[in-house]
Structure 1
Amino acid sequence: MLLTETTGPGTNAVGGKARGLYQLRAAGVAVPNFAVLPSETFAPLLAHLPTATDADLDTRQQALRAFQPTDAERAALQQVLAGWGFPARPVVVRSSVVDEDGADNSFAGLMDSFLNLTTEEAVWAAVAECAASAYSARARAYRQQRGLPPVALPGVIVQVQVAARTSGVLFSTWPEYPPEMAIHALWGFGEALVSGAQQPDEFYLRKATGEVSYQQIAEKTQQLTAPSTTSGLAAQPVAADAQLTPSLLPTELTQLHALGQHLESAFGAPQDVEFVVDTAGALWVVQARPITQPIPELLVFDNSNIQESYCGVTTPLTFSFARRAYATVYRQTMQALGVPPAEVAAHEPVVTQLLALVQGRIYYNINNWYRGLLLLPSFQQNKADMERMMGLEEPVDFVQPPRRSRLEQLRSAPRQAANLLRLLAAFAGLRRGVPKFQTQFAAAYQRFYSLPLAQLSQAELLAEKTRLDTELLAHWTTPIINDFRVMMYNGRALRGLRAAGVAQPEELLRRYLATDQQLASVQPVHRLLKLAAEARTFPGLAELVRTWPATIAEEVAQRYPAFHLAVQDFIAEYGDRTVGELKLETTTMRTAPTIFYQYLRNLLMGPDKTNALEPAEGDAVTGAATAEIAGLLRQRGGLQGWALTRTLGRLQDAIRQREALRLERTRLFGMYRSLYRAAGRQLAAQGRLSRAEDVFYLTEDELTAALGAPVGLSSPALPLPSVPATIWLSSPTATSPDLRVVVAARQQEFAAYEQAEVPTRVTVPASPHRMAPPLAATDGLLQGTGCFPGIVEGEVLVVRRPEDDLSVAGKIVCALRTDPGWATLFPACKAVVIEKGSSLSHSVIILRELGIPTIINVPGLTRQLQSGQRVVLDGQAGTLRIQPRPAG
């Protein structure tokens, strides 16, 4: 029997390739005319033949080679060929075995194809050989390797041959890097491409946009063409001027991108597509089948924002604690939104993997942050707001809400609405909730620091850790709800400004927010400036601090007891506010008072800046922003103006509360730091660690076990996902009972991480394309985003890690990241440049309030500049111009 593309397959076994052609036509894709001889055509030849041995399979192959069509089949094919304009238009014969081109088994290239056939005898001879190739040695070996039954049910396709200008293969999703689709193409017929005989042009397109992310043009010296006098193909030279010319035009790449998107959506899976562009420029699809290679989930890790808190390489103890803290807080958030307990439990793989450790650096696991947002309504809007707050330079679009029918949407609407109402109710409750939270925290804070930590037993230390976990960390809902409030109102404010016609709403909003002088994060700076002014009133004290003896803290305590008491009060309240303050291994003012005197010395080395936080410095900029927004609101008026005014007010209030609550977070981390340092001292005294500081190279679970925590009392284990080990700690749990062995191995591992250059975004799998070379200064000019205006010239101090030189007085400080602890350094800085930063981060807010010229997001800043170089900085334009070194 003979089936055509118009009659359809019916119940016949047409095979995988023919089934794909029917599906392509149904999807509206241009497919060359075809006819199918289904497996029922060949069944009588095979019906009674055995399959037990290799000889039996040889017999089946020989029987198929002897195939002869019936008179009815000959007549039917003659009629079809005539309709196609045969023999003027040649045909091809291709296989279509029943289990070919399936979701799991492709049989790619294993059966024979015959091209450029121009006689009926040649067509029928090719049909017999094509069917027989289902039992070829390579096809049989493939079946054995794949665990398939030895019996093949061959079908055969006869199809109009397209006059090929270009042929190629399209993978609608590239398994090596799923955000892209891959297209390989060359001149002429594609047999040389699929066989690997010739090097094709390679094009890689971003699936989301169709933009060419990478291409490699081959030198195409030969092409396969269809001679008019003989069957089959022949190799001919490519014209010299076409050998290095791309075989696909930009418009054709656009067509292929749309085709790949369409087929993947229509067939519900990534597709392997063979296509031909004919000599008239028309695009034809000659085959589509599922990609049988597993498509890995693309994991995206980004540290654009979190490196502000965890700058550079971070120790295992900090990472394991931070990961547990994020998981604990996220569970509380879901519970506050009314998520059912069963669904909270189902989200454990998400909440326990919100963070990743990439070569010693903490990253967000972006996939899981997006999955968490699926619990809220308006996913796309919240996603955009979260990306803005995280400082993501490139959105990630592969995590999307599941497609639901209208009925499913109606059923889920009450639940989504209830979640939103709970969130809004939680926002409203913050007015009373924040003071209550701060009162409870203050009581726990004072109680903790009244303890003689050095005298507590190991069991008592564990009990204090449990108390911190249960009384504070397990009740952190208020700060996280307020963070949601900042995220949502920031997004709403930007949308409102954009709707009001503001061309650059982000820039205007940055300036407007700098009018707030009440942020809690700036209070330590006020106090430090006052202490510097007070130090100047004590005869000889300022000079003592400037000369910087090794025993500075002891000498001040002995010679200036009143000032020493003031310093002690400052450290008791703000001793954890230090550069790198969320890294448990960081030495803070609380653990080393000398750090306070370093900050004080920075201030005493320059002029008195007691009044640095007075509004006058920022009036020219922030006042203009306030006036601009006020004029905008007057112009708009009505409901729109009222809504924008209300949103801006709520955003300012939310940011003010956020800064206050982040100071409490700093203090919470400080308590855990003090606790773990005390534990380290005990383990070192017992000889189980070489030094107390080695405790930071243990994970939380290992430390609590070392302190003798009974089973069930240590922190719950957080399973590592199935991703390459290089993303995580290479030794996440101790494999040796000797803690010193574990620590030594990790110290060596993390020391190597210090030398590694790690990008802001890491994907698994990674893009296999060559990475771009490091950015170099163009004519000595570096470009970033200006955050506060001012033109200054001065000496650069590059700070990559908290351990670097922090003598910032009078310097243009160039930092990889900044965090709240930098606030104590900022007043002494001449200007600040940050390689990666968010304009809404608290440190940038403080810099604006201090009136310090500031630039953020300068690519490669800390690699391209060295301490001691001189630059001219323009905070308005966001530029740094490197000055030539003096001759000699």
Structure 2
Amino acid sequence: MSALRSDPVLPIGRVLGLEKVDAGMGELVGGKAANLGELIGAGFRVPPGFVLTTETCAAVCPVDDLIGDLPGSAALIRDRITSAELPPDLVGAITGARDELGAGPVAVRSSATAEDLPHASFAGQQDTYLNVVGTEALLDAVRRCWASLWSDRAVAYREANGVEHAAVRIAVVVQRMVDAHAAGVLFTANPVTGDRAECVIDASTGLGESVVSGAVTPDHFVVRGDRVSAQPGDKPTSVRAVPGGGVETVAQDSETASIGEAQARELAEVGRRVARHFGTPQDVEWAIGADGLWLTQSRPITTLFPLPAESERGLRMYLSVNVAQGVYRPLTPMGAATLGLLAAGVLRELGIPSPDSRPAPLREVDGWVFLDITGTTGNRIGRAVLPRLLAAAEARTGRVYESMMDDPRLPLRPGVPWRVLRGLAGVLARNRIPLLVAGVLRDPARAREEAFRRVDELRADLAAARPVTARERLDAARHALRRTTAPVMAWVAPRMMPILLLSRLLPKLTGASEAEVQVVLSGVPHNVTTEMDLELWAIAQRLGPDVDDLAARYRDRDLPSEVLRGLDEFLARHGHRTAAEIDAGVARWSEHPEKVLALVENYARTGSAGHDAVQRFRAAADEAEVMAAEIVARQQNRPRARFTAWLLNRVRNLIGMRELPKYCAVLGIAHARRHIRGIGAELAESGWISDPDDVFFLNYEELSDVIDGADHHDLIATRRETHARELRRKHLPRLLLSDGTEPETLLPQQNSENTLRGTSASPGTVTGTARVIHDPAHARLQPGEILVAPSTDPGWTPLFLTASGLVMEMGGPNSHGATVARENGIPAVVGVPHATTAIPDGRTITLHGSTGTVDL
């Protein structure tokens, strides 16, 4: 390799014709050239050529002195490179390698080391020059390719994807030009739906430049097996090579076909072979000349959502647990393992068999947790019940689920699902759930008192553990989840579920409209999250408007004693909470009080400006009582009126407790995190891991191995890279099929140009400034502004006290955000597709909570 590194020009076929190109070679020749070399080594037809290495550009045109001033210095860097004089020996090497290719034009393509990364393809960020003729034109194209590494778009793309400018270098690929009569792009998986079983081809006549540049609407082919679906494009022009060099755009008959169905099948088969070689779906550029098909580039499709490993046969359907829990970010490996351990413990407490580590239906991939719900599609009970449950938690998910019920790959089994019925009956009988429900409805105050007593006992039991060694801490973390938290959750959850069901049935049982029921469910008492938010609001009002440097003043204990005492007590009681709190790998408020103090600052300022969150909550409760009385008054007879009054009273007095199961879960997760952090500190001090937080990139078994002396540095580094990549992912599917298809992409678009449609979650209409927020930490929301978020969990809800409305991409009428919005008396629309991108930050919008629409 050292000899090769001294050579500025490397022939593709001889040096890069390897079955697999190692990382060192990739750094020397860039992503594009490395992939072309692998294609040659695997036997695919690639035009012959050579590569000017990354070392060549760095030696001829050093620009390190200007990188620190980017992006402002980009133009200076480009000017330096394009005006550089190439050394005579380099010119000789280039022309000599060019002569070996024989007569005829060449294509000159950039090949950067940052290309074709797992999380970003950098497609089109650097330049390509086609039909280059003559030595001067070739040398000029080489310089321009080098300079394109520093184009404004390439610099901005690297910054957006977290790639260091100084770490990127560029090589140049020179290949014999294919005089193509058809060319285009082949995706070995459908880039829109995610379906790995489909190949998608965009093709046009002439050179492929017209396709990749978007100059024409190409012919579009979808190939599934041997079946080809063709959609002719609008191709009034074609890009052709000019005999003297360069290309031109010429007019042509728009109906001219680029390729036939047989060629589409051939391309798809070649594409599948390419994907098998690289082990991942590929984006392949190709050209067909007089001498057949040539591949000119292959890169991974970086936009596809990762798929869980699957051992079951046939098509599987997965429900996103992240979406259901309002966590629009990947979990850490320890976070996913903790969630699985806790879920398995709850199921076992309910008498449902489950493996120790996680329930069998749970799937995890790269921090995204899914539940395999394929079994529900095969029986009538599942098909009837699940959409209704989903409609309450995440409305659009229910519609997406129902849209798949006609798919022949998810057949409905005939007959009565006796096995399902017997299993359900067994769980109900074993846990005496009918009796529990009757007891809760008969005496809600007693049931509520008992539930909160058990929560207090859980808190005390968790705090009692005092492990010392790493092994003891690991055992304590597991015990906190499986033996301490899971039993309390299994006790509380069955008592809360019937109340949620009754709340969904209120319109039918009382004759009230959905909007009226939402009013009745506003300002409800006994919600631990709402009470937490109001407690923090009360603390903030003791400060007044003087809140500068609040974090520093709290750290220095330079605040009024009543404020300090209030904040200390708040963190002692609620410090286990945070945004994305179901992830044990996420720091708690108690660890970073500045997140809470930022909320206190905002509360203090808005309170001083006249906004009163407590008064708004009380007003919502008063309005609910009035609406409940109206519903009772219009009942047809006295027995029905008494029943309606009884029912509304029970639901209002119990629905606030819907938060308790999750509250218990987060208590357990936070205490498990405390023990795991202690292990991290001990292992980092002894050198077994590099950073205390490395423990959150292992699961419990792997952490146990490290305690026993295993070296997992490489595994941790890989997991950290994966987590960082997935944090940049901007879209999360509600449902996912095991072939990669995202069913929601198959639904017709509901939004119009000026109106977005979702699901009504809290009634009322409000007009205000949209504030798009992706992370609640340090976010400031002024009174009157409408919060627009991908999803929310309890860590977000302090923002609700100042928001005048809520719009969420995810969620349903009974999701956390919807419930807290109602309780705070603010209009809300949830399940609005792409809300955070369709609604510009700062735009004035009108939110119609009762109809589930947002006017832009």
Scaled to the shorter chain, the TM-score interval is 0.5 to 0.7
3-state DSSP class of the match of 2:607?
coil
Q: Tell whether 2:393 aligns with 1:393.
A: no
Distance 1:801 1:303, change over 3 A: farther
Residue segments in structure 1 that go unaligned for 5+ positions in a row: 1-175, 180-198, 205-213, 220-293, 336-343, 537-541, 710-736, 883-888
Distance 1:739 1:630, change over 3 A: same
Alignment map for 1:319-718 (pairs within 5 Å): 319-333=336-350, 335=351, 344-345=352-353, 352-367=359-374, 382-391=385-394, 392-394=397-399, 395=401, 397=405, 398=410, 403-404=415-416, 419=429, 422-428=432-438, 435-436=449-450, 438-446=452-460, 448-449=462-463, 456-468=468-480, 469-497=482-510, 500=511, 505-536=513-544, 542-543=545-546, 545-547=547-549, 551-555=552-556, 557-608=557-608, 609-610=611-612, 612-614=614-616, 617-618=619-620, 622-623=624-625, 625-632=627-634, 634-635=635-636, 638=639, 646-708=646-708
* CA shift for structure 1 position 587: 2.3
Q: Tell me the amino acid that sits aligned with residue 576 of structure 2.
A: D
**AA partner of residue 681 (structure 1):** A
Deviation, 1:358, is: 4.7
Is the aligned partner of 1:834 residue 2:842? no
Question: Letter of the aligned partner of 1:571 in structure 2?
Answer: L
2:744 and 2:386 map into 1 onto residues whose CA distance is 30
For the residues of structure 2 that align with 1:870 and 1:592, how far apart are their CA atoms?
Answer: 34
Tell me the amino acid that sits aligned with residue 490 of structure 2: T
Cα gap change, 1:708/1:774 in structure 2, threshold over 3 Å: closer, same or farther? farther
Q: Residues 305 and 382 of structure 1: is their aligned pair in 2 closer, same or farther, counting only changes over 3 Å?
A: farther
Provide the C-alpha distance between the structure 2 equivalents of 1:790 and 1:369, rounded to a whole number of angstroms.
37
For residues 437 and 416 of structure 1, do their structure 2 counterparts lie closer, same or farther at Cα, with a shift above 3 Å needed? closer
| Structure 2 unmatched runs, 5+ | 1-193, 198-218, 233-310
Task: Decide whether aligned partners of structure 1 residues 636 and 387 sit closer, same or farther in structure 2, where only a CA change above 3 A counts.
Answer: farther
Shift of 1:494: 4.7
Amino acid corresponding to residue 437 of structure 2 in structure 1: F
Which residue does the alignment assign to 2:821? 847
Q: Larger radius of gyration, structure 1 or 2? A: 1
Cα distance change, pair 658–402 in 1 and its aligned pair in 2 (3 A): farther
Partner of 1:312: 329
CA distance in 2, matches of 1:807, 1:768: 34
Specify whether residues 801 and 363 from structure 1 end up closer, same or farther in structure 2 by C-alpha distance, changes over 3 A only.
farther
Report the counterpart of residue 761 of structure 1 in structure 2: 735
CA distance in 2, matches of 1:829, 1:868: 14
State whether residues 309 and 582 of structure 1, in contact with CA within 8 Å, keep that contact through their aligned partners in structure 2. no
- How big is the shift at 1:591? 1.1
Aligned to 1:807: 780
After superposition, the Cα gap between the structure-2 partners of 1:598 and 1:457, relative to the gap in structure 1 and judged at 3 Å, is: same
**Structure 1 pair 493–297 and aligned structure 2 pair: CA distance change class (3 A):** farther
Conservation of the 8 A alpha-carbon contact between 1:323 and 1:353: no
User: Which residue pairs with 1:817 in the alignment?
Assistant: 791
Matches within 5 A, 1:65-464: 297-303=314-320, 306-333=323-350, 335=351, 344-345=352-353, 352-367=359-374, 382-391=385-394, 392-394=397-399, 395=401, 397=405, 398=410, 403-404=415-416, 419=429, 422-428=432-438, 435-436=449-450, 438-446=452-460, 448-449=462-463, 456-464=468-476
1:507 Cα deviation after fit: 3.4
In the TM superposition, what is the alpha-carbon distance from 1:428 to its structure 2 partner?
3.7
The answer on whether the counterparts of 1:602 and 1:825 sit within 8 Å (CA) in structure 2 is: no
Name the counterpart of 1:790: 765
The question of whether the paired residues in 1 share the 8 Å contact of 2:772 and 2:840 is answered with: yes
Q: Which amino acid aligns with 2:773?
A: V
Q: Which amino acid aligns with 1:427?
A: V
Cα contact 2:222–2:228 (8 A) shared by 1: yes
Normalising to structure 2: TM-score of the pair?
Answer: 0.56
Q: Aligned-pair distance for 1:874?
A: 4.3
Q: What per-residue deviation string (whole Å, max 9, x for no partner) do you get for residues 600-634 of structure 1? A: 011122234455355553268635642442134x2
Which deviates further from its counterpart, 581-590 or 296-305?
296-305
Aligned mates of 1:559, 1:415 — CA distance in 2: 58
3-state DSSP class of the match of 1:747? helix
1:99-121: CA deviations, max 9, x gaps? Answer: xxxxxxxxxxxxxxxxxxxxxxx
Give the Å deviation of 1:598. Answer: 0.8
Q: What SS does the aligned partner of 1:833 have?
A: strand
Task: Verify the 8 A CA contact 1:546 1:604 in the aligned structure 2.
Answer: no
How far apart are residue 697 of structure 1 and its match?
Answer: 1.3
**Identity, % of aligned positions:** 17
Q: What do the CA deviations read for 1:542-601 (whole angstroms, capped 9, x no partner)?
A: 42x33456x34313x145444222211111111123222222222222111112211101
- SS of 1:588 mapped into structure 2: coil
The Cα of 1:437 is off from its aligned counterpart by 5.2
Q: Which moved more, 1:396-405 or 1:867-876?
A: 396-405
The amino acid of 1:760's aligned partner reads R
TM-score, length-scaled by structure 1? 0.54
Aligned residues: 546
- Equivalents in 2 of 1:320, 1:705: separation in Å? 15
* Counterparts of 1:764 and 1:310, CA distance in 2: 22
What are the superposed Cα offsets for residues 498-518 of structure 1, whole Å, 9 maximum, x if unpaired? xx4x5xx44333222125234
User: CA, structure 1 residues 613+577, in 2 after alignment: closer, same or farther (shift >3 Å)?
Assistant: farther
| Alpha-carbon spacing, 1:741–1:202, altered in 2? closer, same or farther (3 Å) | closer
Residues 393 and 814 in structure 2, CA contact (< 8 A), matched pair in contact too: no
SS of corresponding position for 2:780 = coil
How far apart, CA to CA, are the structure 2 residues paired with 1:520 and 1:769?
36
Partners of 1:473 and 1:857 lie apart in 2 by 30
